[in-house]
Amino acid sequence: MARYFTDEHEWIDVEGETATVGITDYAQGQLGDIVFVELPDVGTVIDKGKDAAVVESVKAASDVYAPISGEVMETNAALEDDPALVNTSPEEDGWFFKMTIGDKSQFDGLMDEAAYKSFCDGL
Amino acid sequence: MSTPNASGWKPGTPVEGHNAMSGPDTATGNRALMLEEPLLFEIGHVETTGVDLPDPGSGANRLGGFERSEAIGLPGLSEPETVRHYTRLSRQNYAIDLGLFPLGSCTMKHNPRLNEKIARMPGFADVHPLQPVDTVRGALEVINELAHWLIDLTGMHAVAMSPKAGAHGELCGILCIRAALEARGDAREVILVPESAHGTNPATAAFAGYKVEDIPATAEGRVDLEALKARLGPDVAGVMITNPNTCGLFERDMKAISDAVHAAGGFVYCDGANFNAIVGKVRPGDLGVDAMHINLHKTFSTPHGGGGPGSGPVVLSEALAPFGPLPYTARTEDGVVHLIEEEDAEEFAKEHFGGALQHFGRMTAFHGQMGMFTRALAYILSHGADGLKQVAEDAVLNANYILRSLDDVLDAPFGPSGPCMHEALFSDKGFAVGLSTLDLAKAMIDEGYHPMTMYFPLVVHGAMLVEPTETESKAALDQFIMALRSVAERAKEGDESLKTAPHYAPRRRLDETQAARKPVLAWNDPDMA
Amino acid sequence: MRYLPLTDTDRSAMLDVIGAPDIDALFADVPEEARLSGPIEGLPMHASEMAVEKHMRRLSKKNLAASDAAFFLGAGAYKHHIPASVDHIIQRGEFLTAYTPYQPEIAQGTLQMLFEFQSQVARLYGCAVANASMYDGSTACWEAVAMAGRVARGKKRKVVLSGALHPHYAEVVRTMAKFTDDEIAGAPPSLTAKPDDDGLIARIDADTSCVVVQYPDILGRLPDLAKIAAAAHDKGALLIAVNTEPVALGAIKSPGELGADIVVGEGQAIGVGLQFGGPYLGLFAVRDEKHVRMMPGRLCGETVDAEGKRGFVLTLSTREQHIRREKATSNICTNSGLCALAFNVHMTLLGEKGLRRLAMENHRLACLAADRLAKVPGVTVLNDTFFNEFTVLLGTDARTVVRQLADDGVLAGVSLGRLFPGSGNLANGLLVAVTETTTEEDIETLASALEEVLA
């Protein structure tokens, strides 16, 4: 399994033909207490860089962009009842959705963990 | 006798060793005049009523089998209980009647009680919107007379009176622009809005089907004219500009902005939320504005009522005047005020406007906020031309007095670029680490004030926007300045008690995260579940 | 000027503190050519309280107040008795002169009132959640249509309007839809004793986002909402029910109970006077909690403070324009707070018992009026069913009759010709509304006036 990061503070776990997407610990720290996550419908085809989900705190709503193109296969139902999972476990239990991968060259240019860490340190 | 105030005490005099809020807990949770009040659903009963009505008995009906069988679940109270319930609730509110209400961009000024009296005259309050016009000539005259003064005060050509509030007025203005462009076969897609704009501006443009793009600002807090010019082109339908802007500054280049937009074939919408600063002094029509809404509940003092109703007539330039919504009133040469609705719009336009009227449709049922029109007209007539000019001057004087009395203790990001208009803008620069604008605002509550507008405009970090309005005395301003100075000093010194403010309000800080995560938006009876 | 506290001495002392030579120096950023040299032309100088009151009273006297006539107008605005304590409470400065409750610690009065109001509206409408009010019924109706588009995620573009929807409401929807590419399907109503529910159902298809039905409808009839709801849901469309007379819901089943997904309406009839059409009170509710985050407008919710005491706040604000900007669910900011308070107080005074009695008294008098008018030669009562408003056919243009009767101080009703100017076949129709304020003497006055003018 490989984990990639985007400069929009999303992480992507790749396992076989499936990618799992969420937001990073750094992102949840910036957003504060998450009160709601709006997830895409299963079956939606999303394009890299376009709106895929919305994550809301009390005073802000932030778009989460699709890190790669593909079709949404599953969303994290646990976030419906407990959006705070994004705060407590952003990079594990607080995942957003799973999607198909299609073209693997899409991962070119994304960061690995070390690169993302130094990216955040520079912010 | 010569010792009328023997104690020498007055409000603000320190009293050694006493904290008014300390003391034992009470059995009721009340603290003398600070009274807790349960919900209606906890004290009312479905069998109780405060209105005497006959028992219906059982007779034939024409409800066709749709009669209600289930209980509705609406508790009632007798009249004395009702009056007490709401009187007790009212005392948990801050209000302009209680003190200075310095909410920037909201223009919380005194609401004259004459206006309340007038709005309740039976000839205004007890008139149906669809009565035959011969029975409502006075109401039409009120609308027309107010329309006339709004046109004169803004130097514009026409006014659409029906919009129900500021944002509804914005929508009206943008729809006029869209209708005018469509009438000349010129489909355009983009509305430009500065980052510092009220959120209603981009929301309105999007609601009217436009794409929204930002206009950049200069370092001194104004529209960047050169950047704006560079963006203008055949796809730009118009710009939405607030003037005076949300940084409390007058857009010096307004005429040049208008000229550039017009040269590129677009229209200029002005957000008139801050008209109070210039009423009677500057006419937006002279600056090339094509449409501007006027918040009657701001500049013209109709009461805010805890969040509405508002009223947002939109003044229109000659270019946009033919496209306003229905219905409207018009006075013909014989002095008669006509009400023009769908029924006679075409005919009236043919007869009086050479057929050039192409209204874009109807925005609301009936004629707009009549109850606000009567109040606003009474306000305008009370002030007159001289008084309105004085309103703007005193509003601007009061804001600058606050700005210059506090700019040694609070950072005023645009202070160096000159005087402000009707509101003074400060930032949180210099606060001790860990203390924020929110903490200062909540501490102002303990000092007996409603806080200023916080975190708006977005272009200034930890923004605090203070709008005193013209209806404050110098003594009231001095006390407010003293309080804000004291709290600002505590914020700079790192006084940790600010973090838990307010301490003396009916409630401490409320958990907004919980409210949003698990919304409870209606009362649910445990018994009824 | 009585509203301006500063004296000239104050002004010059303040200019000294600012360091400005005169007031004009503070307007230095306003270009010279944009500054007016003197006062606005044409506007008189300031006037005393006495003078302004006199002027306004003179204008008010040119109107015929509803209470001074035999009065039968409705069509979306109703004359009801408002208890004196309602106006007393809304005039308390703490309510009247408060702002939107953005600082909840010092706005619990307004917030608790809004929570009570939302709860009352939700129960009256048979819904899970109501918002803290909109401008009026007609704009709430458009907002519901826009929300249905969001629920359909923009994939369905057709909006089916019942022909018997208030024509102003339909016009507002049509106006707004011009700018959103929604396709609006609607037609004027046909003059039948029962609403044409089957005709409406036949217009619903797979591309329909919502069906908009007024209940009771503009002619006063009661459509079969449950049947329409089933048909709409069958095609994946939402049913939006519109109610312009909330008193009716004390007598008839709630739209939510009958399956409506969004229920909107005009709340004016409870607590808010006629006021020539505004300010009124837009009511907006959803039957299912799952739609809450798609709703427009302010919402008040319950929470706790730092000491654990119950309190209320405006919540789910990320839907709104001040946070979401161009992606907001609506551009609305202001609600109709003071009118919501008036509704809340009046409904509290009524309670369930009072509301039911009020509704049945309205219906009793309306039945009486319909029976009496049916006896007038040349008058036919159209409706099989109605609550407190029904349609009569006069055999001649009702607009003319209404004007003739107004000359004699009888406000007979609203002519369908005024509401549907393009539909000649409706011209003989007259909408007659009867409330608890109508006396049997008023009914007799109307009947004899019609007898005279139709003879």
Q: Which residues of C touch A (CB under 8 A)?
A: 153, 293, 317-318, 323-324, 327
In this complex, do C324 and A38 lie within 8 Å of one another by their Cβ atoms? no
Q: Are residues C184 and C261 in the same domain?
A: yes
Instruction: Tell me, yes or no, whether B161 lies in a domain.
Output: yes
Q: C interface mutation test: which of B21, B63, B223, B250 has the most C CBs within 10 A?
A: B63
Q: Which two tokens stand for residue C345?
A: 């107080």
Q: What is the mean pLDDT of residues B431-455?
A: 97
Q: Are residues C327 and C386 in the same domain?
A: no
In this complex, do B516 and A35 lie within 8 Å of one another by their Cβ atoms? yes
Instruction: Tell me, yes or no, whether B234 lies in a domain.
Output: yes
Number of separate domains in chain A: 1
Instruction: Tell me, yes or no, whether B498 lies in a domain.
Output: yes
Segments forming the whole domain that contains residue C119: 84-345
Query: C-contacting residues of B 261-280, CB under 8 Å?
Result: 278, 280
B520 touches chain A (CB under 8 A): no
Instruction: Tell me, yes or no, whether B61 lies in a domain.
Output: no
Helices B370-406, B474-493: inter-axial angle, 10-degree rounding: 60
pLDDT at position C401 over 80: yes
Strand order of the β-sheet with C282-286 is C129-130, C282-286, C262-266, C238-243, C208-214, C158-161, C183-185
Chain A nearest-CA residue for B512: A58
DSSP E strand stretches across B24-94? none
Chain A partners within 8 Å of B512 (Cβ): 58
At which of C345, C377, C396 does a domain end?
A: C345
Q: Which two tokens stand for residue B455?
A: 């975190």
Q: B interface mutation test: which of C329, C348, C453 has the most B CBs within 10 A?
A: C348
B237 touches chain C (CB under 8 A): no
- Looking at every residue in chain C, the average pLDDT score rounds to 95
pLDDT at position B459 over 90: no
**pLDDT at residue B15, rounded to an integer:** 74
Distance CA C400, CA C391 (A): 16
- Identify the helix (H) or strand (E) that includes residue A119: helix A113-121
Q: Are residues B270 and B172 in the same domain?
A: yes
- Please report which residue ranges of C375-438 form alpha helices under DSSP H: 398-407, 416-419
Chain B partners within 8 Å of C103 (Cβ): 94, 441, 445, 450-451
pLDDT at position B1 over 70: no
Distance CA B461, CA B464 (A): 9
pLDDT band at B495 (very low <50, low <70, confident <90, very high): very high
CB C247 within 8 A of CB C77: no
Instruction: Tell me, yes or no, whether C33 lies in a domain.
Output: no
pLDDT at position B298 over 60: yes
CB B335 within 8 A of CB B413: no
In this complex, do A61 and C327 lie within 8 Å of one another by their Cβ atoms? yes
CB B162 within 8 A of CB B327: yes
Nearest Cα of chain A lies from the Cα of C157 at a distance, in angstroms, of: 19
Distance of CA B282 to the CA centre of its chain: 21
Average the pLDDT over each of A9-13, C54-58, C434-438, C443-447 and give the range with the smallest value. A9-13
- Looking at every residue in chain A, the average pLDDT score rounds to 91
Strands C410-411 and C70-71: parallel
pLDDT at position B20 over 60: no
Distance CA C326, CA A19 (A): 31
**pLDDT at residue C9, rounded to an integer:** 98
- Under DSSP, the state recorded for B131 is S
Query: C-contacting residues of B 150-209, CB under 8 Å?
Result: 152-153, 164-168, 170-171, 175, 178, 198-200, 202-209
Query: Residue B507 is nearest to which of C58, C104, C321, comparing CB atoms?
Result: C104
What type of residue sits at position A34? I
Chain C partners within 8 Å of B520 (Cβ): 301-303
In this complex, do C317 and A38 lie within 8 Å of one another by their Cβ atoms? no
Q: Are residues B241 and B129 in the same domain?
A: yes
Cβ neighbors of C355 (< 8 A, separation 6 or more) are B72, B74, C247, C250, C347
Number of separate domains in chain C: 2
B518 touches chain A (CB under 8 A): no
CB B350 within 8 A of CB B388: no
Distance CA B407, CA C348 (A): 49
Query: Residue C331 is nearest to which of B62, B170, B306, comparing CB atoms?
Result: B170
Segments forming the whole domain that contains residue B171: 115-375
Q: Are residues B321 and B393 in the same domain?
A: no
- Please report which residue ranges of B91-199 form alpha helices under DSSP H: 113-119, 122-125, 137-154, 166-183
Number of separate domains in chain B: 3
CATH number of the domain that residue B247 is part of: 3.40.640.10
Chain A nearest-CA residue for B511: A58
Nearest Cα of chain B lies from the Cα of C392 at a distance, in angstroms, of: 15
Instruction: Tell me, yes or no, whether B169 lies in a domain.
Output: yes
CATH number of the domain that residue C227 is part of: 3.40.640.10
Average the pLDDT over each of A110-114, B329-333, B404-408, B417-421 and give the range with the smallest value. B329-333
Q: Are residues B363 and B396 in the same domain?
A: no
Segments forming the whole domain that contains residue A35: 2-121
At which of C345, C370, C385 does a domain end?
A: C345
In this complex, do C43 and B388 lie within 8 Å of one another by their Cβ atoms? yes
Q: Are residues C101 and C209 in the same domain?
A: yes
Q: Are residues B460 and B336 in the same domain?
A: no
Nearest Cα of chain B lies from the Cα of C326 at a distance, in angstroms, of: 4
In this complex, do C106 and B502 lie within 8 Å of one another by their Cβ atoms? yes
Using DSSP, state whether C364 is helix, strand or coil: helix
CB B171 within 8 A of CB C178: no
Does C175 or B195 have the greater pLDDT score? C175
Reported as a single tens digit per residue, the pLDDT across B308-356 is 999 999 999 999 998 999 998 888 888 888 888 888 888 887 877 766 6
Find residue A72's DSSP bridge partners: A99
In this complex, do A59 and C323 lie within 8 Å of one another by their Cβ atoms? yes
At which of C345, C375, C401 does a domain end?
A: C345
Q: Are residues B415 and B442 in the same domain?
A: yes
CB C97 within 8 A of CB B96: yes
In this complex, do A83 and B513 lie within 8 Å of one another by their Cβ atoms? no
B513 touches chain A (CB under 8 A): yes
CATH number of the domain that residue A51 is part of: 2.40.50.100
Q: Are residues C178 and C299 in the same domain?
A: yes
**pLDDT at residue B358, rounded to an integer:** 81
Reported as a single tens digit per residue, the pLDDT across C177-224 is 887 778 888 788 999 999 999 999 999 999 999 999 999 999 999 999
Q: Are residues C411 and C316 in the same domain?
A: no
Average the pLDDT over each of B501-515, C324-338, C420-434 and give the range with the smallest value. C324-338
In this complex, do B139 and C276 lie within 8 Å of one another by their Cβ atoms? yes
Average the pLDDT over each of B21-30, B76-85, B229-238 and give the range with the smallest value. B21-30
Nearest Cα of chain A lies from the Cα of C289 at a distance, in angstroms, of: 13
Instruction: Tell me, yes or no, whether C58 lies in a domain.
Output: no
Check whether the bond before B502 is cis (ω within 30° of 0): yes
Q: Are residues B119 and B147 in the same domain?
A: yes
Nearest Cα of chain B lies from the Cα of C429 at a distance, in angstroms, of: 15
Q: Are residues B248 and B342 in the same domain?
A: yes
Cβ neighbors of B129 (< 8 A, separation 6 or more) are B365, B366, B367, B370, C77, C274, C276, C277, C278
Strands B337-340 and B424-426: unpaired
pLDDT at position B125 over 60: yes
Query: C-contacting residues of A 63-122, CB under 8 Å?
Result: none
In this complex, do A84 and B516 lie within 8 Å of one another by their Cβ atoms? no
Residue at token pair 């979306």: C76
Query: C-contacting residues of B 31-70, CB under 8 Å?
Result: 37, 39-41, 44-51, 53-56, 59-64, 66-70
Chain A partners within 8 Å of B458 (Cβ): none
In this complex, do C116 and B49 lie within 8 Å of one another by their Cβ atoms? no
CB A46 within 8 A of CB A65: no
- Under DSSP, the state recorded for C332 is -
Q: Are residues B228 and B351 in the same domain?
A: yes
Q: What is the mean pLDDT of residues B149-170?
A: 94
Name the nearest CA neighbour of C95 among C278, C349, C339, C348: C339
pLDDT at position B50 over 60: yes
Chains adjacent to C (≥3 CB pairs closer than 8 angstroms): A, B
Q: What is the mean pLDDT of residues B360-372?
A: 95
Q: Are residues C308 and C404 in the same domain?
A: no
In this complex, do A60 and C293 lie within 8 Å of one another by their Cβ atoms? no
**pLDDT at residue C15, rounded to an integer:** 98
Name the nearest CA neighbour of B145 among C278, C43, C274, C275: C43
Q: Are residues C133 and C117 in the same domain?
A: yes
Query: Residue B361 is nearest to which of C101, C171, C252, comparing CB atoms?
Result: C171
Instruction: Tell me, yes or no, whether B67 lies in a domain.
Output: no
Reported as a single tens digit per residue, the pLDDT across C2-34 is 999 999 999 999 999 999 999 999 999 998 888
Query: Residue C311 is nearest to which of B326, B442, B507, comparing CB atoms?
Result: B507
Q: Are residues C196 and C330 in the same domain?
A: yes
Task: Give the dihedral sign, CA C1/C5/C9/C12.
Answer: negative
**pLDDT at residue B528, rounded to an integer:** 52
Q: Are residues C204 and C75 in the same domain?
A: no
Q: Which residues of A touch B (CB under 8 A)?
A: 33, 35-36, 56-58, 83-84
Q: Are residues C302 and C207 in the same domain?
A: yes
- Helix/strand number for chain A, H first, E second: 4, 9
Q: Rounded to two decimals, what is the model's pTM?
A: 0.96
Average the pLDDT over each of A42-51, B127-136, C90-99, C349-358 and give the range with the smallest value. A42-51
Query: Residue B512 is nearest to which of A58, A83, A84, comparing CB atoms?
Result: A58
> If you count residue pairs, one on A and one on C, with CB atoms under 8 Å apart, how many are there?
18
Chains adjacent to A (≥3 CB pairs closer than 8 angstroms): B, C
CATH number of the domain that residue C442 is part of: 3.90.1150.10
pLDDT band at B529 (very low <50, low <70, confident <90, very high): very low
Q: What is the mean pLDDT of residues C104-114?
A: 98
pLDDT at position B527 over 80: no
In this complex, do C303 and B401 lie within 8 Å of one another by their Cβ atoms? no
